[in-house]
Amino acid sequence: MASSFVHVHLVALRYFGETVRTGSMRQAAEHLNVAASAVNRQILKLEDQLQCKLFDRRAEGVRLTAAGEVLYNYILRLERDLDRAISQIDDLRGLRRGHVKIACEDGLGRDYLPPLLSQFHKDHPGITYSVEIASALDILTQVADGAIDIGIAMAPPRNPDVSIIAQAAMPMGVVVAPDSPLAGRQSVRLRDLAGETVILAKDGTGGGASYYEQLGFAQPHTRFMQTNAPDFITNLVKAGLGVGIRSPIGIMGDIEDRKICFVPIGDTTLEAPTLSLYAKPHRALPMAAATLLERLKDALPEFRDRVHAAGRCPLVIDPQREVAPA
């Protein structure tokens, strides 16, 4: 078996991996721009060489067998090893080439990341990027698994397999329509939301989940709506369905244009959420990713100041809440 495995063709492995990712040989063929029969032929060749079935073929697609799972996990490791080898070669070229994999929440992908990537691209035009928009919990998982180089998220639960490279406290507040009685306030307390329908994020999303328990304690008869998408909070507020609790991140343009109003929450007992940069501990990042991570870390204080200014929030910094590079 070992000797036959050495002769497995890389094209066959590529076709096999794409079939797993798409769930069918037909879709894999479309992605690869080849005939479906060519994909099937390569997979049959693999099964013949390895002397076992890799897929259970069904009318709706294919499903991995136990042997197929083993082979696919090997391919994933092979791809990661190849990425590392290419990255190390790119390092020798002095950032003339390279690829950085990033995951961030939607609002951060709107207000924080694009201008920084734009400047980094001007400085290093040969670097390419993949950016995945995901929930904070998914971002931590991807960092821990080594699937991405850099994670950027608001206050998700800690993960022992993930390091916080830097973080900064961000304001939370109430998002209301411009004609709301709350819109002209300098700040609000949770008790001021009596009688309102409060829209806020679910646990592990957008940094606002801890406010659910606090609101329930302060206003036991408060009506709640929850969502896993912080930006949807603003859409619901604009639709007149209630008032939202969230960070200004992701709606800074709307706030500045007065399309929506952000009123800081003034309860001093509530802990401000943090915007954090994440990486996998004890993993040597490729040069391009390590350099970009330093750029993101250096830009964090200025972005923090912009967010506080957009939210008309007094800037109170607790140095214990901001972490130096690991």
Domain ranges of the chain: 2-77, 93-168+276-321, 173-264
Q: What is the mean pLDDT of residues 137-158?
A: 91
Give pLDDT, residue 222: 66
pLDDT digits (tens, 9 = 90+) for 13-36: 889 999 998 988 989 888 888 998
Most confident of 78-87, 239-248, 267-276: 239-248
> Beta partners for 224?
198
Q: Which pLDDT score, from 0 to 100, does residue 320 have? A: 42
Structural tokens at position 23: 């769930």
Predicted structure pTM score: 0.67
Q: Is 173-264 in the same CATH topology as 2-77? A: no
**pLDDT tens per residue, range 158-209:** 889 999 999 999 988 899 999 888 888 888 888 888 888 888 887 655 555 5
Angle of helix 25-32 relative to helix 36-50, nearest 10 degrees, comes to 110
pLDDT over 50 at 317, yes or no: no
> pLDDT at position 221, please?
62
Q: 273: buried, middle or exposed (CB in 10 Å: 19+, 13-18, 0-12)? A: buried
* Whether pLDDT at 316 is above 60: no
Determine the pLDDT at residue 314: 39
pLDDT grade, residue 91 (50/70/90)? low
Q: Percent of the chain at pLDDT above 70?
A: 85
Looking at residue 107, what DSSP letter applies? T
CATH of domain 2-77: 1.10.10.10
The yes-or-no verdict on residue 318 having pLDDT over 70 is no
pLDDT confidence bin for 100, thresholds 50/70/90: very high
**296 has a pLDDT exceeding 90:** yes
Rounded Cα–Cα distance for residues 58 and 53 (Å): 13
Extract the runs of DSSP E, i.e. beta strands, from 170-230: 173-176, 197-201, 223-227
Backbone dihedral angles phi then psi of residue 110, each to the nearest 5 degrees: -100, -45
Grade residue 217 by pLDDT with cuts at 50, 70 and 90.
Answer: low
When pLDDT is averaged across residues 69-76 and rounded to a whole number, the result is 90
- Where does 93-168+276-321 sit in CATH, by number? 3.40.190.10
Highest mean pLDDT among 84-88, 225-229, 231-235, 305-309: 305-309
CA distance 50 to 44: 10
- Say whether pLDDT at 73 is over 60: yes
The CATH number that domain 173-264 falls under is: 3.40.190.10
Structure tokens belonging to residue 81: 């090893």
> What is the pLDDT, as a whole number, of residue 321?
43
Say how far apart CA 166 and CA 251 lie, in whole Å. Answer: 23
Average pLDDT in the 220-242 region? 82
Average confidence score pLDDT of the chain: 83
* pLDDT average, residue stretch 147-157: 90
Share of the chain above pLDDT 90, in %: 35
Phi-psi region of 77 (alpha: psi -120 to 50; beta: other; left: phi over 0): alpha
Q: What is the pLDDT of residue 5?
A: 46
Task: Measure the CA–CA gap between 67 and 71, rounded to whole angstroms.
Answer: 6
Question: Which range among 47-51, 270-274, 276-280 has the greatest average pLDDT?
Answer: 276-280
Whether residue 94 is predicted with pLDDT greater than 80 in this model: the reply is no
pLDDT-based confidence at 325, cuts 50/70/90?
very low
CA 275/CA 165 separation, integer angstroms: 11
